[in-house]
Structure 1
């Protein structure tokens, strides 16, 4: 025990010092050893009493309070419980653990504060841009634009309507994320053929792919059914968002590939483009709300900036995982898993 060892060392040091002084005057080894034993014994008893009364018991009480209050116990219970016989070592470990825990909490709070500031700045910009545009078009119409130039006035009305649609989509996406986070949107599990769903999504997005001059590829080998257990409509939304994202950041005359891999208990789905790619430093943040790796280009191609965040929330609500890998200038792959339906033997 550290406490006994500490008392022993201090008592031996005092006893040895007194014995040496006695030997200096008496020049007798017999007196030296007798003095050493007696002074050591008396010092040991004195130090033991003093350490026990004024140090050890105090530290033990502090340890009990730290340990028990950390567990959420009240003060009476904390004082009445018998704990470790080596509180000095335990206090040291408790303080180390406490310091590590607090450092993690501080780092988390700093990260949350950074995210909060960026989120507020981003959402302010996302709302401000269409609102100012709408305000400008309406002011022009109020100043008589419709009477002076009906054709231009009609164009202003159409642009104002488009900006209103953008605001509507933004609010809808924010509301959906909020409900996903709070669990207000239930996951309606059902068994369905993932291959069929992928084909449906690709067919529905064919016109948009043509408009972006991008080819959709889903290999012929995916002809057999791939049964999964998930919310079919939400997985459709995931596929639509990922494929739409590949259009925004793909290159002209490029390809978007959808692949399915059968694993042991899950099915892996990959959506790959051969576009501009993402810098490695930006990869950890691509699923954040409103985070855009290329802000100038993203503003031009539109979108609420919430698509990937919604995708992540949907997949995690299924208790599954999603990740991204990318090479700048070569393309990006988003991959997520779904629960596979086990076929009867």
Structure 2
């Protein structure tokens, strides 16, 4: 009975009514009727006031605190929202809010620590796997030579070239890791200059034309010859972005496929789009392709080569230009990667706008 507001209210109300009746009984003019009426009124008023006070200011808030503690144990926290909490006279409601805010903050810290720990485990496993392949290959070639194959000139040269190729792959991996780490830590600074993005894309496409022709991939560049596509950016790093995206579009396309590079202008921006008609990227992988070492098809990508860091570097370079890489893909139909850079224009004395080609 004492575990709820009604039971406590009944006991306290009875005590108050008895005290009132006892006090009135000391008066000479008090009759039994007056004592009964006074006792009933005092009991009713006391019960109502005490019950309402206990129910709304104490027991309900205690129940909310217990519910919150259960949610904390089950990790089912939600943001506390109560418009009356700021003006509430109940200290328990304020305690409830403080507990909820504290638990939310601690839960976010725990979630962040768990994600960081998981990321570290995955990163260590990935980098160990990436380093193992070139190191083991180089060890195998060198040990074979030391075991006597070095006396055969033809075998010696072949194995030394393979060992050198493995070490070159290892060097590329280390350089990419250093570049990515320096970008994330802000060590690498961006040098912004004005240049024609069309000329840069033509240079990249010319470089990759041989690889595309080997796979019979049709590499097409669409742009308006009358336009001057001047932008302000770090030319070397944007070159790497375009090179990586177009290279991937060719490498992961189907034989005799097509890669279309489009360059368009809007009022304030240049838009680059690289579209292929390859196998596409599954939806479950689409959100993770910019993570370090993440590969959609590990076996095929390993065969094709690469460090698995290219798209992560692309993402950080574009973020350094206050831009972002966008991707859409349909399995079996291909993928589209796109990004934007600012368009640089010059105002002529006549008042007409013309793109600055200097």
SS at match of 1:333: strand
Task: Measure the CA separation in 1 of the matches of 2:221 and 2:188.
Answer: 31
Contact preservation (8 Å) 1:15, 1:37: no
TM score, norm. by length of structure 2? 0.74
Q: CA contact under 8 A between 1:14 and 1:39: conserved in structure 2?
A: no
Deviation at 1:223, TM superposition (A): 4.5
* Aligned residue in 2 for 1:31: 38
Residue 158 (structure 2) pairs with residue 162 (structure 1): no
Work out whether 1:251 is the aligned partner of 2:258.
no
State yes or no: 1:322 paired with 2:325: yes
> 1:59 corresponds to which residue?
none
CA offset at residue 310 of structure 1?
0.7
Q: Secondary structure at the match of 1:291?
A: coil
Q: 1:37 Cα deviation (Å)?
A: 7.8
Does the 8 Å contact 1:18/1:35 carry over to 2?
Answer: no
- 1:137 alignment partner, one of 123, 141, 154: 141
How has the CA–CA distance of structure 1 residues 12 and 84 changed in structure 2, closer, same or farther, with 3 Å as cutoff? closer
Contact 1:216 1:255 in 2 (8 A): yes
Q: CA deviation at 1:87?
A: 4.1
Deviation at 1:314, TM superposition (A): 0.5
Could you state the TM-score of these two structures normalised by the residue count of structure 1?
0.77
- 8 Å CA contact 2:17–2:38 kept in 1: the answer is no
3-state SS of the aligned residue for 1:218? strand
Residue aligning to 1:104: 108
What is residue 206 of structure 1 aligned with on the other side?
A: 209
SS in 1 for 2:271: strand
2:69 aligns with none
Q: Among residues 289, 294, 297, which one is paired with 2:292 in the alignment?
A: 289
Answering whether residue 173 of structure 2 is matched by residue 173 of structure 1, we say no
Cα pair 2:17 2:40 within 8 Å, conserved: no
In 1, distance between residues paired with 2:200 and 2:297? 31
Q: What is the Cα deviation at residue 32 of structure 1?
A: 3.2
Q: By how many angstroms is 1:99 displaced?
A: 2.6
Which digits, 9 at most, give the CA deviation of each residue in 1:73-109, with x for residues without a partner? xxxxxxxxxx996543333223223333333332332
Of residues 121, 144, 150 in structure 2, which corresponds to 1:146? 150
Contact persistence 1:195–1:222 (CA under 8 A): no
Structure 1 residue 18, shift from structure 2 partner: 4.8
Structure 1: distance between partners of 2:268 and 2:13? 72
SS for the counterpart of 1:229 is strand
CA distance in structure 2 between the aligned counterparts of 1:295 and 1:41, rounded to whole angstroms: 72
Distance, in Å, in 2 between the alignment partners of 1:274 and 1:42 is 76
- Residues 234-291 of structure 1 show CA distances to partners (whole Å, capped at 9, x for unaligned) of 1001000111111221111111111234345433322121111111001111011111
Q: Report the secondary structure of 2:261's partner residue.
A: strand
1:94 matched to 2:101: no
Match of residue 127 from structure 1: 131
Deviation at 1:12, TM superposition (A): 6.2
Rg larger in structure: 2
Count of paired positions: 303
* Residue 313 (structure 1) aligns with: 316
List alignment gaps of at least 5 residues for structure 1. 1-7, 52-82
Alpha-carbon contact 1:257-1:272 (below 8 Å) kept: yes
